[in-house]
Amino acid sequence: MSEELSRLIALQELDSELAGLGRDTEGIRQAQADREKAVANREAQAGSCRAKAVDLEQSRETIKAAGEEAAERIKERQVKMMQVQTSREHQALLKEIEDAKRQIKDTEEQLLQVMEDAEAELKKAEELEKLSKGERKLLAEEATKATAAVRQIEARRTEVLASRNQLALALPEAQRKRYEKLLIKRKGLAVVRVSGGVCQGCFMTVPPQLFNQARKGGEICACPACQRIIFYIADENEPVQTVRPRPEEDLYEEADDEESEDDLLNDE
Ligand SMILES: [Zn+2]
């Protein structure tokens, strides 16, 4: 395999790792934000329960006033009763008194209901507050862990980024530009393996002639369908690679499965 192709493959590996690290950080931040939102929601819920309880308390005053007003009316009608002449007037006053009594009974029931409701709202608020207090504490602990994790990822990212930039600069400029353009256009995947004659970027079959060329690993080949740079490394499903890597990377000596007999020796 050519030096340039090896560099491109290594560069892709680093860029893929960078993308993965970016996703990890984003995932951690998103999870924290989601938790924060959930706690904030619960706290808001508790707040609205408290507000409802206050409203209910205030409505008690209005109900009470209506009851007192009805009681006044009864007293006033009772005084009038002693002055009326006709039974018709008498009947009318009696009816007004009855109505006022009924109103007093209603206000008493309303007061009880309102008190019960206010108490229920307060209880709900207290439960929610207790719950969110626990969650807040947990969230703070998790935030510390998340910050540490993100810091670790960032440190690794800085490292990878430095290696990646160094590697990119070692490439001929045109090649580097081509790679970086592809990386953007092809969603972070510019260099892909060809496996079983199929481009692992777009999963189209690579024409046999191009495949053979890629197998030799000398020239930089591109998939005609997706334009990604393709390379070939033997795997257990395919006969062993015929082009040897540089001696220090000669891992393929280890290939020991029966399928990979060296019957395809057609080195360049
Ligand atoms: Zn392709």
Report CA(113)–ligand 1 centroid distance (Å). 72
Measured in Å, residue 227 CA sits from the centre of ligand 1 at: 6
Where does the chain hold its CATH 1.10.287.1490 domain(s)? Answer: 16-169
Distance 150 CA to ligand 1 centre (A): 34
- From first to last of its 268 residues, the chain has per-residue pLDDT tens of 889 999 999 999 999 999 999 999 999 999 999 999 999 999 999 999 999 999 999 999 999 999 999 999 999 999 999 998 899 999 999 999 999 999 999 999 999 999 999 999 999 999 999 999 999 999 999 999 999 999 999 999 999 999 999 999 999 999 999 999 999 999 999 999 999 899 999 999 999 999 999 998 888 999 999 999 999 988 765 554 443 434 443 333 333 433 333 333 333 3
Ligand 1 center from residue 230 Cα (angstroms) = 8
Question: Which residues, chain by chain, have CB under 5 Å from ion ligand 1?
Answer: 199, 201-202, 223, 225-226
Asked if 39 and 135 count as a contact pair (C-beta separation under 8 A), the reply is yes
Instruction: Please tell me the predicted confidence (pLDDT) of residue 1.
Output: 81
Q: What is residue 235's predicted lDDT score, i.e. its pLDDT?
A: 72
Arch. (CATH architecture) of 16-169: Orthogonal Bundle (1.10)
Ligand 1 centroid to Cα of residue 26, in Å, is 29
User: What is the separation, in whole angstroms, between the first and last Cα of the chain?
Assistant: 11
pLDDT of the residue at 238: 53
Ligand 1 center from residue 107 Cα (angstroms): 79
Rounded to the nearest angstrom, the distance between the alpha carbon of 157 and the centre of ligand 1 is 28
Q: How far is it, in rounded angstroms, from Cα 118 to Cα 61? A: 13
Residue 128 Cα to ligand 1 midpoint, Å, equals 55
